[in-house]
A and B are shown apart, each in its own frame.
Chain A
Amino acid sequence: MDFLSFLITGLGLGSVYAIIALGYTMVYGIAKMLNFAHGDVIMIGAYVAFFAVGKFNMPSLVAVLFSVLVCTLLGVLIERLAYKPLRDASTLSVLITAIGVSYFLQNAAQILWGSDTKIFPTMFDFGNISLFNGQLQISLLTLITILVCIVIMVVLTLFINKTKTGKAMRACSEDKATAQLMGINVDTTISITFAIGSGLAAIASVLLCSTYPAVNPTLGSMPGIKAFTAAVFGGIGSIPGAFIGGLLLGVLETLAKAYISSQMSDAIVFLVLIIVLLIKPTGLLGKKISEKV
């Protein structure tokens, strides 16, 4: 019974990782860059929701939408100011810039809101459901987190495959120059990708903080690294890959914590990652890189 309960907790955590990983993977697919500042967008999202509910008494759902709006704008702003001037620069230059943005957001948050931890308000109180004569207690919030993740996945897949913008995104990810020749506005498309990724980050932040209610300026770093790992796990650039990678990572981490050692859980997760990459060098669902001669 404990196992089932840990499994569900793991799936809940994994769903949050998956939503964050989507942001990494979409941006990577199009801009071919590792956006290390993505985790810090989550942090900003959490603060926005915290103040929206705690200080301005907004209704929970409005607060979530507000947080999504702020993060979307922030994502586009970051892309325009910091990444766009580097479109033709080396990947490493872009990586360092992303790190700079990450430092910037963390320190700005610290100056604006202080470095002490704030406790995230209870936005959604669903209580628990009890199964098997009360032997299994499941938080409804966890189930909703998993559900939200699945809905996002489905909508996003439909969006990418069916809409014009979605097709433009895929075209850009295949070949930017050709896409441009076909009349696709590459800059706009990239901005839209950042907007979607950052908006998702805001949703992830609310879900994350509802389960683990600590808000501080470094809140996003660890989930960021984990989600990035999840994206690679599933095959970076692949949307279903991010989903599967996120879920697997969450479950693996929770089970490792429960049954092996809470201190070694990170090491175990990363060890499994290395093994997976040795067997499938481009992740679970990643595309094979064909070398052109």
Chain B
Amino acid sequence: MNLKKIFSTLAVASMLVACGGNDTSSGNSTFKIGVSGPLTGDNAVYGNAVKNAAELAVEEVNAKGGIQLEFKIEDDQADPEKSPTAYGTLKDWGMQIGLATVTSGAGAAVSQNYADDTTFAITPSASSTTVIYSDADNTQSYKYVYQMCFTDPNQGVASADYLKNHTDLGSKVAVIYKSDDNYSTGIYQKFMDEAKKVGLDVVSETSFDNSSATDFNVQLKDAQSKGADIVYLPIYYQPASLILTQANQMGYAPTFFGVDGMDGILTLDGFNTELAEGVYLLTPFSADAKDELTANFVKNYKERYGETPNQFAADAYDCIYAIYDALEAGKATPDMSNSDLADLLIKQFTSMTFDGITGSDVTWSESGEVSKSPKAVVIKDGAYVGVED
């Protein structure tokens, strides 16, 4: 046995060094854009949405004939331990510009890598502050990592303000959040801070985690017994769908109010979409928007992948176009070093205004935070409909 093991070790070792160290990008004619995201595991839906939309955008850009892009996505299973190795694989491939990661936890684990290697990255959907800031006070940014999506706190603040200004939806609020999710707790904390500030009446705060993400009886009973008529759900749509189902079983019918993670609930396999009627959500993207950019994107995406794009897809699509705009405006060439490219992109991103499908007049601060406005959307007759203010 031992001999066999030694041989296999040697074989493994030879694979590890086979083609290392020769990937420096001189003589390239394309910009290599890399990202890691969950392609397998619980969150594969998000990774695949980003993959699809980014590939679509890259093809469109390349078809224009100017700047040529090349795109690669590596699987990180949304795992902070796997994303550094996925980053390593991308680096070996010769990545020049990154879309960082699809999810927050995995993202926070590689932000320092991007900074260390002076490679520019803009994440489509890793919305936590920990992805762009290295400290708890959000004062020290990594400088190389930008976001296309809202930072979580902004969503929480916006939600609380919206509820305060729209008392017709209800006045007593219950919150159910996911305690082991960066995204959810981030929004939850800022929502609570803002709720206190504007005097929103929060009567019930309950949470769940990954191991208890199927049973919401206790949380819903708490909300119901305290008379909550709004249930705020700063969570992704899968657990939200279960909450809607179980609330229905209990005969509890408050107004449910979600955030951008709620997007996707209508396409969930097996979910009775009637239950989602009247659910509100704040999101920067709605697939039914009438402007030309969105309509085109939705049409092409549907044709190619047979499904309606969600917000992750929209953000990824915008990322590629934002990079494209910046590269063109900065007259970048593919033979530039990563750090020269990064300097150029940072200069562009902090000065440009970008019009995309997730918002117009989008700008970025020097710390990488995006500024765009969320829209309130309500689900009516099985579709997202924009709410007029």
Q: Which of B21-49 contact A (CB under 8 A)?
A: 40-45
B222: nearest chain-A partner, CB-CB: A258
Given A213-B242, A257-B212 in contact, is the A118-B270 Cβ separation under 8 Å?
yes
Given A218-B42, A262-B219 in contact, is the A118-B268 Cβ separation under 8 Å?
yes
Interface size on B, residues (CB 8 A): 33
User: In whole angstroms, what is the CA distance A254 to B215 when docked?
Assistant: 10
User: In whole angstroms, what is the CA distance A115 to B249 when docked?
Assistant: 26
Q: Which of B41, B42, B214, B238 has the most CB of A within 10 A?
A: B214
CB atoms of B45 and A116 under 8 A apart: yes
User: In whole angstroms, what is the CA distance A210 to B289 when docked?
Assistant: 36
Interface size on A, residues (CB 8 A): 36
CB atoms of A266 and B45 under 8 A apart: no
User: In whole angstroms, what is the CA distance A107 to B44 when docked?
Assistant: 13
Secondary structure at chain A's binding surface: helix, strand, loop or mixed?
Answer: mixed
User: In whole angstroms, what is the CA distance A211 to B217 when docked?
Assistant: 10
User: In whole angstroms, what is the CA distance A129 to B42 when docked?
Assistant: 36
CB atoms of B238 and A117 under 8 A apart: yes
- Is A137 close to B, CB under 8 A? yes
B41: nearest chain-A partner, CB-CB: A115
- Is A50 close to B, CB under 8 A? yes
Q: Using a Cβ cutoff of 8 Å, how many contacts connect chains A and B?
A: 80
CB atoms of A116 and B269 under 8 A apart: yes
Residues of B within 8 A of A107 (CB): 40
User: In whole angstroms, what is the CA distance A66 to B207 when docked?
Assistant: 37
Residues of A within 8 A of B215 (CB): 13, 211-212, 257
Residues of A within 8 A of B207 (CB): 262-263
Q: Can you identify 17 A-B contacts, CB atoms within 8 angstroms?
A: A2-B221, A114-B45, A115-B40, A115-B43, A115-B45, A116-B44, A117-B241, A119-B271, A121-B270, A137-B251, A139-B249, A212-B214, A257-B212, A262-B206, A262-B212, A262-B219, A263-B209
New A-B pairs, 14, CB < 8 Å, besides A116-B44, A119-B270, A265-B212:
A50-B270, A110-B44, A114-B45, A115-B40, A115-B41, A116-B45, A119-B268, A119-B271, A128-B251, A212-B214, A216-B42, A258-B218, A262-B218, A263-B209
Residues of A participating in the B interface, judged by any CB pair closer than 8 Å: 2, 5-6, 9, 13, 50, 54, 107, 110, 114-122, 128, 137, 139, 211-216, 218, 222, 254, 257-258, 262-263, 265-266
